[in-house]
Amino acid sequence: MRRVLLMTASFGSGHNQAAYAVQEALKERDAQVEVVDYVSLLNPALRSFAKFSLIQGVQKAPSLYGLFYKSMSRIDPDSALQRYVNHLGIERMQEYIQYYQPDAIASTFPTPMGVVGELRRTGQIGIPNIAIVTDYTAHRQWYHDHADHFFVATDEVKRDLVSYGVPDSAIEVVGIPLRRKFQAENVMRLLSHRSQLVREMGFREDLPIVLLMGGGSGILADPPLWESFIPESGMQYIIICGQNRRMEKRFSALASDRVHVYGFTSEIDRFMAAADLIVSKPGGLTLTEAITMRLPMLLFRPIPGQEEANARFAEKAGVAVCVRTAREAQQFLLEVKQHPEILERMRMASEHMPTCGAAARIAEKIMLFATGRQTSPAMRAAYPPELLPT
Tell me: the pLDDT tens digits for 172-192?
999 999 999 999 999 999 999
347 alpha carbon, distance to own chain's centre? 21
Pick one of 3.40.640.10, 3.40.50.1110, 3.40.50.2000, 3.30.565.10 as the CATH number of 3-177+357-387.
3.40.50.2000
Alpha-carbon gap, residue 19 to 34, rounded angstroms: 10
**Amino acid sitting at position 229:** F
DSSP class of 303: P
User: Which pLDDT value is given to residue 244?
Assistant: 84
pLDDT of 71 reads 77
Residue ranges, comma separated, of all CATH 3.40.50.2000 domains in the chain are 3-177+357-387, 181-350
pLDDT score of 65:
72
Taking the C-alpha atoms of residue 326 and residue 222, their distance in angstroms, rounded to an integer, is 8
Please give the C-alpha separations between residue 247 and each of 52, 177, 227, in angstroms, as whole numbers: 20, 30, 12
pLDDT of the residue at 359: 96
Which residues are registered as beta bridge partners of 105?
A: 5, 129
Classify 181-350 by CATH class. alpha beta
Cα 59 to Cα 71, 113, 174, 301, distances in angstroms: 19, 27, 32, 11
Per-residue pLDDT of the chain (390 residues; tens, 9 = 90+): 999 999 999 877 789 999 999 999 999 999 999 999 998 888 776 766 666 566 655 666 677 777 777 778 888 888 888 888 889 889 999 999 999 999 999 999 999 999 999 999 999 999 999 999 999 999 999 999 999 999 999 999 999 999 999 999 999 999 999 999 999 999 999 999 999 999 999 999 999 999 999 755 566 777 888 999 999 999 999 999 988 888 899 999 999 999 999 988 889 999 999 999 999 999 999 999 999 999 999 999 898 889 999 999 999 999 999 999 989 999 999 999 999 999 999 999 998 887 778 999 999 999 999 998 766 666 656 555 555 555
> What pLDDT does residue 116 have?
97
> Closest Cα partner for 251 from 279, 292, 213, 307?
213
DSSP letter for 220, please.
Answer: G
Please tell me the pTM assigned to this model.
Answer: 0.91
